Amino acid sequence: MDLLSQLRGQIADFSAFLHREGFVDDQFTQLQKLRDESSPGFVVEVVSLFFEDCEKLVNNMAKALEQQIVDFKQVDSHVHQLKGSSSSIGAARIHNVCIAFKTCCEDQNRNGCVRCLQQVNHECIQLKNNLQTLFNLEQQIIAAGGSIPAKQ
Amino acid sequence: MATSNGSSTGTKITALVVDDDRVINAIHCKRLNKLGIENHVAANGKEAVDLHCSGKKFDLILMDRDMPIMNGIEATRELRAMGVRSIIVGVSTRSIKQEIQEFMDSGLDDYQEKPLTSSK
């Protein structure tokens, strides 16, 4: 099997893994379909924006939860934003944690919020690492003279 | 997609994406681009209103609900009061009927739950 076929196989297997384990959902596939010749780096760019914003939101939520009197409305608005952007890129696990997180905000449950925040952080790190692996594989295909498999 | 009275004299459909989330703006703009729709971005309701006050017109406005400075409900009311007749589609992750109705009542033509897809 030549190198390109091997790499394409690895990408297909890894993508299947990401979907099977719930790291990403169909919305991520939709995002990949938006990539074209005029914007080959579109998915990488959007994902980078997402993780930059995710980091800021997590920091803001952490600061808010450290306060003696927690402003749960403020925390909720950060969670709401993360919920929206995570669903738009197909970051399914992060989105699901945000749903539970919103409930904790509504219940004004500080401990629950702190646990959710830890989970969000954990899922962000995992997804970031996984997507980096995927993007590295795609880069290897390009370096080997191939093109990234188009999403159907 | 039908052109509204607010369209420019050119044949290209124009759209305004109003959202404080830059990830969502990037995705919506890309989708619209692929459909051949010329698009602009506003980071909140006030920016959207200010754009219209400066004389800009759009065939379609994708309006997020929750934004700082001026939210989507306030912005939609303001735009309709200004006489803006563009198609305004509310876009949000909110799914509670009451909240959706409140947004619709501000003057939307349609409401779509995030995430948006090309078919929506």
pLDDT tens-digit map of A75-131 = 999 999 999 999 999 999 999 999 999 999 999 999 999 999 999 999 999 999 999
What's the confidence (pLDDT) of residue B120?
66
Q: Chain A within 8 Å of B37 (Cβ-Cβ)?
A: no
Of the partner residues A27, A42, A87, the one whose CB lies closest to the CB of residue B93? A87
**Tens of pLDDT along A3-54?**
889 999 999 999 999 999 999 999 999 999 999 888 889 999 999 999 999 9
Query: For residues B20 and B41, what is the distance between their CA atoms, to the nearest angstrom?
Result: 10
B119 close contact with A: CB closer than 8 A? no
- The complex scores an ipTM of 0.88
Find chain B residues with C-beta within 8 A of A24's C-beta: none
The CA distance from B58 to A94, in Å, is 34
pLDDT digits (tens, 9 = 90+) for B41-86: 999 999 999 999 999 999 999 999 999 999 999 999 999 999 999 9
Query: Chain B: residue nearest A47 by CA?
Result: B23
- A88 to B114: CB separation less than 8 angstroms, yes or no: yes
The number of beta carbons lying within 10 Å of the beta carbon of residue A152 is 5
CA distances (Å), A114 to each of A64, A74, A101, A123, A142, in order?
10, 14, 9, 14, 42
For residue A28, the distance in angstroms to the closest alpha carbon of chain B comes to 11
Please check whether residue B99 touches A, CB under 8 A.
Answer: no
